[in-house]
Structure 1
Amino acid sequence: MPILGLAPAAQALKPAHFDIERVIRPNILALTPYRCARDDYSSGILLDANENALGHSITSASSSAPLSEADDMLHLDLHRYPDPSHPLIKKRIAELRGLPSPEHVFLGVGSDEVIDLLMRVCVSPGAAGDKILVTPPTYGMYSVCAQVNDVGVVKVDLELSGENGEGGEAGRFSVRIDEVKHTIDADPSIKLIFLCSPGNPTGTLISLASIRALLDYTPFKGIVVVDEAYIDFAERGSSAVSLVAEYANICVLQTLSKSFGLAAIRLGIALAQPSLIQILTNTKAPYNISTPTATLALRALSDDSLVQMRSKLERLGTQRTALRLELQKLAPLGVGEAIGGGDANFLVVPILARGSREADNDRAVRVYKTLAEEEGVVVRYRGGERGCRGCLRITVGSEDENEIVIAKLQKTLERM
């Protein structure tokens, strides 16, 4: 069945064993998308969408007060539904990521909307339905979305060498490709593989060779989803986007929340071949990206903004190194060597039992709560995840924030 709205492919793509029409649920392939008013016309006297023709009623700030960002947004046509396709944003993203065209770009309300959409279009729910595969420790929303959609989850733990707590060595994570392949062989109902690269909470890149090995694996007929929320903090040239133009069975997720510093506007990105992008477009809500979000996103993607963004990435990289060195100085108080890699904007360190080299979940929880409730420093407890016993995840802050967290952590550790 042809995909509605998709032009015929000009060339065959790898891998030969992949057929997207066999991956997408039949009801989704047969779906006639909702056609919204702005799909047809966006200029003229617009009396087609039952909007409020008199405009919004939000008052501006006092004329004596400085112009706020909210006031800036008030000049937009907030009483009109937004453009459902946002071609300028997609064009800028395609250029930034080296993709052939905007047809390779989908925009979602954060990456979480894209994760949910991928499950809904690819994975049949129910006890006898399809499954996804995840590689713990990893981003928790994959399993949450699976549960919401009544989808089965298969887990293949990341390989952990030098696990924290064993001789004080730092853990290192990698995907067990052979085990993933064995799991696929044993369970052909797996439709999606979710790989987080750089990982959360591992902070570790997954090699392009490992990703390519799964894309080329003939028994797997589904889609490899590579979540690259933190990719701009990693070494250049490490993104799986370089595989998108070559492979039809990969979908790369990115976001403006992390490196662009725009977590509040909730803009997620899917990068894939036009066939999958068109299916996601056919299935999404009619106006999922708001006008204020789109306006700020386009500004963030301007040349001047990109220069500033990259400058901040360099500063955060420097602070990441400095934070790691300062945490190492707290080893006598029970801070273990950071585990995982340094490819994201955070570090994960185990809190050890007093006078021991064993990671201590109880002490880590006490440190976490004391920092938040008594010292005003909020980090993330991650001790319940595979390979992360006793661990706290600390986001790289500003230079001043990093100095404060080290001082407060030292004070807290000395007390317990």
Structure 2
Amino acid sequence: MPILGLAPSSKSTYPPHFDIERVIRPNILSLHPYRCARDDYSEGILLDANENALGHSISNGDASTSEPNGRIPTQGSEIDSTRSLDLHRYPDPSHPLIKSRIAELRGLPSSDHVFLGVGSDEVIDLLMRICVAPEREKVLITPPTYGMYAVCAQVNDVGVVKVNLELSGDGGEGGAKGRFSLRVDEVKKAVDADPSIKLIFLCSPGNPTGTLISLASIRALLEYEGFRGIVVVDEAYVDFSEPGSSAATLISEYANICVMQTLSKSFGLAAIRLGIALAQPPLIQVLSNTKAPYNISTPTAHLALKALSPASVAEMHAKIGELVANRADLLSSLQSLASLGVGEVIGTQDANFLVVPILERGRSKPDNVRAHKVYKTLAEEEGVVVRYRGSEAGCAGCLRITVGSKAENAVVIEKLRKVLDMF
């Protein structure tokens, strides 16, 4: 069954064992997407979509209304700029200029390789809905990994197969120390044993591992004839790793890969909730056919377009350079706390955070109880919020610490030293 909206010549042929029409659920392939008003016309006297013809009602003069961070909007603030955004109109359903800028930034041939979602979480959910039949089919994940894969699977009533990452260089008495790596052969065994697996989710750099999965490992799964589904590579943190690390470089060759990215991390735009899927046109078309009609809001699109301008991209890269330098300094500072029971940072440092085990006093064994006490005390008594990850596979006793500014990192080390002395 052909993909609605896709030119026949757009169907990819490599690798030969992959056929996207056999991966997409039949009810999705036959879906006629909702056609919204702005798909047809976007200019003129627009009386077709039951919008409020008098415009929005955000007042500039209400000084009693504070913004979420406590500041009071003033004349000339962002509220005034909303007048030019036509907020009373439904947004553009396709956002071609944003997609073109993303395609150029990521080295893809055209905007038809780009899909936009409400954060990466919408992309995850859509991929499961279009590919995986509830109650009958499954996804594969590689713990420790991003928790939303399992959450979305449960919401969509699909099974989850787990192939844990391998942690090499174990640090005595079960200490979490070393490097995480993808066990490619074990993943192959899992898909051989269970043909109902339709999606493989790889987080690279991993959350919470901070470890990049090699392009050679990803390519090995894409080439494997025993797996006829799609390999999904979640690259939320890829801009903090070495240039050339992105699996987006594989998209022009492989039809069975989908790379997820976001503006939340390197671009510093977590609040606008813009997620990205990069893939060959057939999969992008199916995602577009299935999404909600106006999933990306006008304010989000407005800010995303500004963020993707050449000047903003240059600023983003400058901030990444600063954060990478801060990451190295934070790593060094954490290592100076070894005598207080801070173990060696686990995984590699390819993201904007570090994962460090808290050990039993005087021993090299990770201590979940102590780590959780440190986590709670830091947050509730010292005003420093990190993330407890001790329940994740291979992360016993671990805290995940986001790389902050130099001043923030200095406070983290000072407060961590103080709290470790307490327990």
TM-score bracket for the superposition, by shorter chain length: over 0.9
Q: How does 1:32-47 map to 2 (within 5 A)?
A: 32-47=32-47
For these two proteins, the number of residue pairs brought into alignment is 414
Which residue does 1:53 correspond to in 2? 53
Which residue does 1:89 correspond to in 2? 98
- 2:127 paired residue among 118, 126, 129: 118
- How far, CA to CA, are the matches of 1:154 and 1:10 in structure 2? 32
Moved over 2 A (4+): 9-13, 61-75, 163-171
Is it true that 1:270 corresponds to 2:277 in the alignment?
Answer: yes
Which residue does 2:66 correspond to in 1? none
- How far, CA to CA, are the matches of 2:295 and 2:11 in structure 1? 31
Which residue does 2:67 correspond to in 1? none
- Whether the 8 Å contact between 2:11 and 2:282 is mirrored in structure 1 is no
> TM (normalized to structure 1)?
0.97
Q: Secondary structure at the match of 1:306?
A: helix
Shift, 1:76, TM fit: 1.0
Shift, 1:163, TM fit: 2.8
- What runs of 5+ residues in structure 1 fail to find an aligned partner? none
- Whether the 8 Å contact between 1:197 and 1:205 is mirrored in structure 2 is yes
Counterpart amino acid of 1:57?
A: S
Q: How does 1:362-373 map to 2 (within 5 A)?
A: 362-373=369-380
Counterpart amino acid of 1:75?
A: S
Shift in alpha-carbon separation, 1:167–1:140, aligned structure 2, 3 A: closer
Is it true that 1:99 corresponds to 2:108 in the alignment?
Answer: yes
- How far, CA to CA, are the matches of 2:377 and 2:155 in structure 1? 33
Deviates more, 1:171-180 or 1:159-168: 159-168
- What runs of 5+ residues in structure 2 fail to find an aligned partner? 64-72
Which residue does 2:69 correspond to in 1? none
- Whether the 8 Å contact between 2:176 and 2:395 is mirrored in structure 1 is no
- How far, CA to CA, are the matches of 2:110 and 2:294 in structure 1? 22
- How far, CA to CA, are the matches of 1:273 and 1:17 in structure 2? 16
- How far, CA to CA, are the matches of 2:31 and 2:158 in structure 1? 21
- Whether the 8 Å contact between 2:10 and 2:282 is mirrored in structure 1 is no
**Could you give the per-residue CA deviations for residues 161-188 of structure 1, whole angstroms, max 9, x where no partner exists?**
1235548672210000000001111000
Which residue does 1:257 correspond to in 2? 264
- 1:310 paired residue among 313, 317, 325: 317
Is it true that 1:196 corresponds to 2:203 in the alignment?
Answer: yes
**Could you give the per-residue CA deviations for residues 8-27 of structure 1, whole angstroms, max 9, x where no partner exists?**
22574310000000000000
Shift in alpha-carbon separation, 1:10–1:154, aligned structure 2, 3 A: closer
Q: How does 1:266-415 map to 2 (within 5 A)?
A: 266-415=273-422
- How far, CA to CA, are the matches of 2:11 and 2:84 in structure 1? 45
Is it true that 1:155 corresponds to 2:170 in the alignment?
Answer: no
- 2:212 paired residue among 181, 205, 210: 205
- How far, CA to CA, are the matches of 2:74 and 2:50 in structure 1? 35
**Could you give the per-residue CA deviations for residues 132-191 of structure 1, whole angstroms, max 9, x where no partner exists?**
000000000000000000000000000111235548672210000000001111000000
Shift in alpha-carbon separation, 1:12–1:274, aligned structure 2, 3 A: closer
CA RMSD of the aligned region, Å?
Answer: 1.4
- How far, CA to CA, are the matches of 1:59 and 1:176 in structure 2? 57
Q: Secondary structure at the match of 1:75?
A: helix
- 1:131 paired residue among 121, 124, 138: 138
**Could you give the per-residue CA deviations for residues 374-397 of structure 1, whole angstroms, max 9, x where no partner exists?**
000000000001110000000000
- Whether the 8 Å contact between 1:299 and 1:305 is mirrored in structure 2 is yes
Question: Percent of aligned pairs with the same residue?
Answer: 74
Which residue does 1:67 correspond to in 2? 76
Counterpart amino acid of 1:56?
A: H
**Could you give the per-residue CA deviations for residues 43-87 of structure 1, whole angstroms, max 9, x where no partner exists?**
000000000000001111579945322332343100000000000
**Could you give the per-residue CA deviations for residues 68-123 of structure 1, whole angstroms, max 9, x where no partner exists?**
22332343100000000000000000000000110000000000000000000000
- Whether the 8 Å contact between 1:164 and 1:359 is mirrored in structure 2 is no
Q: Secondary structure at the match of 2:160?
A: strand
- How far, CA to CA, are the matches of 2:13 and 2:413 in structure 1? 51
Shift, 1:280, TM fit: 0.3
- Whether the 8 Å contact between 2:343 and 2:357 is mirrored in structure 1 is yes
- Whether the 8 Å contact between 2:10 and 2:281 is mirrored in structure 1 is no
- How far, CA to CA, are the matches of 2:199 and 2:176 in structure 1? 34
Is it true that 1:238 corresponds to 2:245 in the alignment?
Answer: yes
Which residue does 2:68 correspond to in 1? none
Shift in alpha-carbon separation, 1:11–1:150, aligned structure 2, 3 A: closer
- Whether the 8 Å contact between 1:165 and 1:357 is mirrored in structure 2 is yes
Shift in alpha-carbon separation, 1:375–1:165, aligned structure 2, 3 A: farther
- How far, CA to CA, are the matches of 1:282 and 1:378 in structure 2? 40
> TM (normalized to structure 2)?
0.96
- How far, CA to CA, are the matches of 1:273 and 1:296 in structure 2? 26
Counterpart amino acid of 1:282?
A: N
Q: Secondary structure at the match of 2:9?
A: coil
